[in-house]
Amino acid sequence: MRRLVAFAVKAAISAILLYFAMAGVNLAGIGERLRDLKIEWMIGALALSFAQVALLSARWQAIGRACAASLSLGAAFQLSLIATFFNQVLPSTVGGDAMRIWLFTRKGASWSQATYSVLLDRFVGVVALAILVIACLPWTLALIQNPIGRTALLVIGLGSISGALGFVGLGYLRAGWLQRWTITRHLTQMALTARKVLFSASIGGSVMTLSVAIHALTTAMAWCAAHAVDAPLGFFQALQLVPPVMLIATIPISVAGWGVREKSLVLAFAYSGLSESDGLLVSLLLGATMFATGVVGGIVWLAWPNRMRTDQIAAREMQMTSDGSAGDTRR
């Protein structure tokens, strides 16, 4: 029941934000431009999306090794594709992460190894995105003259970096009370692993390079989407506007980021003196590209030979957990 309510709330947030994103936009004009959509540019965006999944897989594999969990690149790509599907059908932008954890354990990793690798993969991605936002700030602030937009940029970028530093700082604490509770013990261990990943000469450089390339591909996808509808958006402009929007869209308050991404990009375009209609179009086409990639991931999931067996194992383990809990209660 709680999950249904959570989904309903997030669906409502998506719908409300989409409504406000479309308010004041000439929807008839958008329809005409979509009818003249240049398919070749959308095919290019879709190809970039699959290339992005490949880079995501390579980064996850490297982080998995740091967590003492081995995963072949092919398996990482397969599981990452499946995760893109669940990112679209589950009520948050991180729904696929839960599925990656589950499937990784089916590949032989322990629950802690799988959880650490996936959460740290997400963490490194967000850190790299925040760094990219900060690195582009001199040009973005010159592009965006609106004081509200400038303030939002600074809060988003610097706030994310501050939060990341605070998390990594947990690894330096030696307080005994951090080891008393399971959640603080695991957070401390993840912070130590994050420090190892980010500051290791052998891992850190490659992981951050992959992360920047991943976010550059998101920018390139948005740039392709703009070309598909003849929106005047240069690649460097996209690099200044898209990463902050994607950073905001990582907040799990809507269904697959829908609504949050659209409203944020519409505002980013408006603050930059660009057409709000163009911002809405680019965001919708970017979301459609991600959805199409998710559809392929869904096909991979349906064709996965161990899917039914995994479902049976999951049901059995959940039943065993329930029985064990009941026994503990009786005692």
| 328 φ/ψ angles, rounded to the nearest 5 degrees | -60, -40
Distance in angstroms (rounded) separating the CA atoms of residues 284 and 69: 37
Tell me, what's the pLDDT at 68?
A: 87
- Residue written as token pair 């911002």: 279
Distance in angstroms (rounded) separating the CA atoms of residues 91 and 253: 8
- pTM reported for the whole predicted model: 0.82
Tell me, what's the pLDDT at 73?
A: 93
Q: Are 9 and 17 in contact (CB under 8 A)?
A: no
Query: Could you tell me the CA-to-CA distances from 87 to 76, 216, 252, 303, 322 in Å, in that order?
Result: 16, 20, 11, 18, 27
Tell me, what's the pLDDT at 328?
A: 41
Nearest to 271 by CA among 156, 122, 121: 156
Tell me, what's the pLDDT at 94?
A: 58
At residue 265, the 3 state secondary structure works out as helix
The b-or-e profile of 308-331 (16+ CB within 10 A means b, else e) is: eeeeeeeeeeeeeeeeeeeeeeee
Q: Are 253 and 10 in contact (CB under 8 A)?
A: yes
**What is the torsional sign of CA 168, 170, 174, 180?**
negative
Please spell the DSSP secondary structure of 141-166, one letter per residue. HHH---HHHHHHHHHHHHHHHHHHHH
- Residue written as token pair 């980013």: 268
Tell me, what's the pLDDT at 315?
A: 46
pLDDT tens by residue, the chain, 331 residues: 666 666 677 778 778 877 777 777 777 788 888 889 999 999 999 999 999 999 999 999 999 988 888 889 999 999 999 999 988 876 555 578 888 998 899 888 888 899 999 999 999 999 999 999 999 989 998 888 888 888 888 888 888 889 888 888 877 776 666 666 777 777 888 888 888 888 887 788 899 999 999 999 999 999 999 999 999 999 999 999 999 999 888 877 677 677 788 888 988 898 888 888 999 999 999 999 999 999 999 999 888 766 545 454 444 444 443 444 334 433 4
Q: Using CB atoms within 10 Å of the CB of residue 162, give its burial: 0 to 12 exposed, 13 to 18 middle, 19+ buried.
A: exposed
Distance in angstroms (rounded) separating the CA atoms of residues 108 and 114: 9
